[in-house]
Amino acid sequence: MTYEERNVIAAILVNLAVVAWFGSRIWTGWDGYAGEDGLVHWARLVLWVIPVSAVATAVAAILVNILYGIATGDGSPDTGFDERDRAIRLRGMVATVIVASAGFILGLGALAVGWGALAAFTIVLAGFALSDLVGNVLRLALYRRAA
């Protein structure tokens, strides 16, 4: 398993954990977000989720690589980044942008048919989270296929 594959696996695990946590907060407290300050509370939660997930992804990547090194006895991983890695990253990024765009359009569509702003913003955020997951799963599949 390459260094990049391990980083992608760490990102997928963090994405799933953050989405599960955020989803549980939103769905169990949906009525609390329906009030006058509902969007304010939702936005504050999202503004915390973004940096926390970025830090968690970095920490998870470090931990996964350390644990992999301990398990395999490989002291220093090959962190080289070649043309294959660039091509795989680009394909993952394209998939991410396509899914994120679809989520944004769905959110706008929800507003256009009369759904509330909270639902529309949640759809957009879910589209962004799904796009990250789709891009990373595609990258992992491409790495596995190339191996």
**What is the arithmetic mean of pLDDT over 88-112?**
98
**What is the arithmetic mean of pLDDT over 86-103?**
97
State the virtual CA torsion across 120, 124, 125, 129 in degrees, nearest 10. Answer: 150
For residues 33 and 143, which has the higher predicted lDDT (pLDDT)? 143
d(CA 46, CA 49): 5
Q: Domain segments of the chain: what residues? A: 3-146
Q: What percent of the chain has pLDDT over 90?
A: 72
Q: Residue 3: its pLDDT value, please?
A: 87
